[in-house]
Each structure stands twice: as C-alpha cells, then as structure tokens.
Amino acid sequence: MKMKMRRCRSCKEYTLKDHCPSCGGDLEVVYPPRYSPEDRYGKYRRILKEQLKGI
C-alpha cells in the first residue's frame, strides 16, 4: 500500500492520516518539486532563503 504525505490547509502540519490530527482540518496531497539539473530559478530561491534567514 502506497501512502502519500499530506499537509493540513489551515495549520500546515504534515501527516499520513486522512484528517489533521491537531485541528481536524482538510488535507491536501503535497508533492516535491521536480528535479532539473538546469534549475532556472535556483539562484532566486537561494537569494530569498538568505533574505528570510535575517528576519
């Protein structure tokens, strides 16, 4: 049986269950981004990560 990682839409908690264990909210299936060796937006993602680290 293949289980998919899910995230609560309201509290953003991750789980494998059908409903959020902490708030009972609806869940959405989350998928990781596809890997690409070219990664056209990697530079911008790293800049944003550095900017958010200072907050």
- Estimate to the nearest angstrom the gap between the alpha carbon of 52 and the chain centroid: 17
Distance, in Å, from the CA atom of 30 to the CA atom of 13, rounded to the nearest integer, reads 11
Taking only the tens of pLDDT, the chain with its 55 residues reads: 577 889 999 998 999 998 899 898 899 998 877 888 888 888 999 999 999 987 6
Distance CA 16, CA 28 (A): 11
